[in-house]
Amino acid sequence: MKERLVVFFNAVIYWSIIAVPFVASFSSAAVDIFIGFMVFAFVLKKIIGKDFTLARTPINLPFALVIGVSLFSFINSVDIRASFQGIVKLLKYGLLIVIIAGEIKDRKHFTRIIWSIFLGLLLASLDGIYQFIFGVDFFRHRPYDSIIGLIRLKAAFPHTNIFAGYLALFLPVVIPLLFYHLKGRKKFILLIITILGSFCLIFTFSRSAFIGVWLVVFLMGLIKKDKAVILLTVLALLIAPLLLPGSIKDWAKTTRSAAEFLLNKERFVLYETSFNMIKEHPFVGVGVNTYVLNYQKYKLRNTSPETADTRWYAHNSYLQMASEIGITGFACFIWLLFLLFKKSWAFYRNNKDNFLALCGLGIIMGLAAFLVHGLTETNLYYPKIATLFWFQAGLLMGVLCRRLSQ
């Protein structure tokens, strides 16, 4: 009986991991449901087997320290309940990492997860195209966002910048395999996904997401010593300003600097508010998950009407993190990223399995583009795409730790 239950729970975990990146393209609720299945099956399997060990990955310790500092930040929290909810989110992300890292069964399982990412990206991109043509997306009939006369696609996502974060995270995973591995029908499928995803990314008009994806593709060209990719990315950078819509060019004339053009003046107010929080509580912050609750207390007195609202996030993942859990917690996160990229780079350089190496490179590129996007958005605090970020980190750790090529 125990053996049958373990087999059943293994199957639930196996297919839930595959399902998450696909259903993320159209439903946050479905993501939570499959993660719930995954966690429930994982815990019961551990209890039945009396095996309470967790997958050991290079980022376990720094992530645990982030949680530890977040707990310590309760001393400054203005709302213990909100901070407790923040800890629950962190525990969910940490559990997601160790489950995925430890439960990827073999190369076939990993390949299915990768194709689930691709098919989800295709579905989200098609939904974005549908929204561009008909004015609303297919799944939820949400209209596209609009500003200064621009169509800003968001597909089934709550906001165009959240959709941009999703694209920045997953679109780069496709590109190394498209350029350097797959052939025939599969290569054609990835080409279509890349074209549709790039179209949607452009029409989010999210500057930081576009810059993030451009940067990682350019770096890929340098890593692979691919002159064609380097040339194309440089040309794209030079041509892009000439192709900007007239409404953007007109708006650009009203800005006072390149920084204001890239960030919008409202973000400067939010950033100064963040620095006020950091100055007040530099070591452990104002309390995990309480930035919004502290905004009115620390905002500038001469804030503009656009930023006078009580529900503003920092619009910078790193300033928000430093504000909430202090420089100490932020330093632990930076250490986590350092280990993540260091180990991943070593895996890419030393792996003789071209498919796994390029998948690893693509995941690294997606994580990096997502983090660049985080310079102007709090995408590490939007639950849907934050979950996907840690999912990808767990997937990368699974590839590193389980030696699937063998």
What was the pLDDT predicted at 253? 81
Residues of the chain with pLDDT > 70, as a percent, come to: 96
Same domain, 225 and 161: yes
Same domain, 130 and 6: no
Same domain, 122 and 41: no
Distances (CA, A) of 280 to 125, 183, 283, 331: 43, 56, 9, 18
Same domain, 49 and 137: no
pTM for this model (two decimals): 0.95
Length of the chain: 406
Residue ending a domain, among 253, 271, 306, is: 253
The predicted-structure confidence for 223-251, as pLDDT tens digits, reads as follows 999 999 999 999 999 999 888 888 888 88
- pLDDT beyond 80 at 301: no
Phi/psi at 61 (5° precision)? -65, -50
Same domain, 3 and 138: no
What was the pLDDT predicted at 252? 80
* Residue 100, in any domain of the structure: no
Same domain, 49 and 120: no
Cβ contacts of residue 86 below 8 Å, gap of 6+?
70, 288, 289, 290, 324
Same domain, 128 and 249: yes
CA distance 266 to 236: 28
The predicted-structure confidence for 305-324, as pLDDT tens digits, reads as follows 555 566 788 999 999 999 99
Q: Which of 347, 342, 359, 331 is nearest to 172 (CA)?
A: 359
Same domain, 114 and 232: yes
* Residue 181, in any domain of the structure: yes
Same domain, 142 and 224: yes
* Residue 84, in any domain of the structure: no
* Residue 371, in any domain of the structure: no
| Residue 352's pLDDT band (cuts 50, 70, 90) | confident
* Residue 267, in any domain of the structure: no
Same domain, 234 and 139: yes
Tokens of 130: 């549908």
Sign of CA dihedral 63, 364, 192, 158: positive
Pick left, alpha or beta for residue 40 (phi over 0 → left; psi -120 to 50 → alpha; otherwise beta): alpha
Same domain, 113 and 217: yes
- pLDDT beyond 70 at 122: yes
Same domain, 142 and 245: yes
Question: For the chain, what is the domain count?
Answer: 2
Domain of residue 46 covers 1-53
Residue ending a domain, among 53, 75, 96, is: 53
What was the pLDDT predicted at 405? 47
* Residue 188, in any domain of the structure: yes
Q: Which residues of 315-350 are buried (b: 16+ CB within 10 A; e: fewer)?
A: bbbbbbbbbbbbbbbbbbbebbeebbeebbeebbee
What was the pLDDT predicted at 406? 46
Is 24 within 8 Å of 384 (Cβ atoms)? yes
| Residue 51's pLDDT band (cuts 50, 70, 90) | confident
* Residue 155, in any domain of the structure: yes
* Residue 79, in any domain of the structure: no
Q: Which of 42, 32, 33 is nearest to 12 (CA)?
A: 42
Place of tokens 């609009």: 146
CA distance 286 to 37: 34
| Residue 60's pLDDT band (cuts 50, 70, 90) | very high
Q: What is the CA radius of gyration of the chain?
A: 21
Residue ending a domain, among 253, 269, 297, is: 253
- pLDDT beyond 90 at 33: yes
Q: Average pLDDT of 335-350?
A: 94
